[in-house]
Structure 1
């Protein structure tokens, strides 16, 4: 499997993920203009469903769609430094492309810099929690030999995390950067990005520590019911 194929998978997958996030946010505000709760519900369900589909489709090639996930893979020795750098660049480029396409599909300017300020201790803590949980869900599943469940686990987790985290669970630096390019429901002001990304990296590091604590042996088979209840 060539690095080019993996990079293309990451670029296209991240582009579609951002289109799902931004596009559904635009659609939600138009379809339910007077109900923010319903807008968030629509946005979260579409994002979760898209993640399941995209991971299932691209996982045989590469389906991180997230620089934090790729960095964790690098720390675990699953990818080389060169490959990780290329995949992160592809994710960032794909995310930007997805935001532009979402804007254009809904008749907006290709780029409209977001003015949606997202700052404050609660939101920053929300990003730590959201990213920690995402890393734990992905790599906890993988290290227990259940990689085939990752698509459903991630889709379900992100759908829920939209609601139980104060930040609505960005949990992804590439998606965060892309969302600055759309001054719509899902947007984030450029001035809010740096701390969001920092908190995502902190959450990723904490998530990695938790994964290594709970699943130190990636070859460990899933125990049967007798072993778990003994």
Structure 2
């Protein structure tokens, strides 16, 4: 059984490094390709895909590699009947670790590129079509993760999850934030990957709605989960129990 503090450290570290990858590659993309937004998006997406895949491989066996409050909440919701997944207390701790990690990751990326540690983003992302993009991105992410869990194919989660996020960068209008913690973290950097603080609540609400839709799709496709399937998101991981 892996103690909760170690799992929280994995979630904090993983989310921090994920946001560092997203924000840092966005800053680098702006530097390398200042006049080509499409190329900036490609560079940002490629770095995110590679970074996310590696982080899932490395930290998944410790905490499940959620790095995302919606994923953690979905696991808790699915496992609440059996007690084999996150408890409500653990869920709260995961959310704090993920959000703190996301903010720390943005600050780290800013510092690496000699920018102010906190530079509030000015990119407004408040429009109904962007919120719809976030609903689609998050619903798809939850569907991918828990479909792999239900099919017993979590070993391919690093490729499946990272591949979906990379694709969603391009087929969603919002460029697929799909993660409340990452959304909050990206508000701390006025860069290619940034989102203005005033735009954060709309994105978070859309992501939560997408998470609910994703769970409904999983239930519709696979039916009610049996005991033993409930705790394995994104990667199988032992959980501690009193």
Task: Tell me which interval the TM-score lies in, with the shorter structure as reference length.
Answer: over 0.9
Equivalent of 2:180, from 158, 173, 189?
Answer: 173
Q: In the aligned structure 2, how far is the partner of 1:30 from the partner of 1:17?
A: 20
Deviations 1:97-144 (A, max 9, x none): 000000000010100001110011110000000000000000100111
Cα offset, 1:79, TM superposition: 1.0
Q: In the aligned structure 2, how far is the partner of 1:113 from the partner of 1:69?
A: 26
Cα offset, 1:218, TM superposition: 4.1
1:69 maps to what in 2?
71
Q: In the aligned structure 1, how far is the partner of 2:149 from the partner of 2:17?
A: 23
2:155 maps to what in 1?
148
Aligned positions of 1:43-122 closer than 5 A:
43-62=44-63, 63-77=65-79, 78-122=85-129
1:144 and 1:218 in contact (8 A); partners too: no
2:236 maps to what in 1?
none
Cα offset, 1:208, TM superposition: 0.5
Q: In the aligned structure 2, how far is the partner of 1:18 from the partner of 1:69?
A: 16
SS at structure 1 position matched to 2:61: coil
TM-score, scaled to structure 1: 0.94
Q: Which runs of 5+ in 1 are unaligned?
A: 221-230
Deviations 1:61-117 (A, max 9, x none): 111000000000000112110111101100000000000000000010100001110
1:13 maps to what in 2?
14
Aligned residues: 220
Q: Which runs of 5+ in 2 are unaligned?
A: 80-84, 228-242
2:213 maps to what in 1?
206
Q: How big is the alpha-carbon RMSD for the aligned residues of Structure 1 and Structure 2? A: 1.1
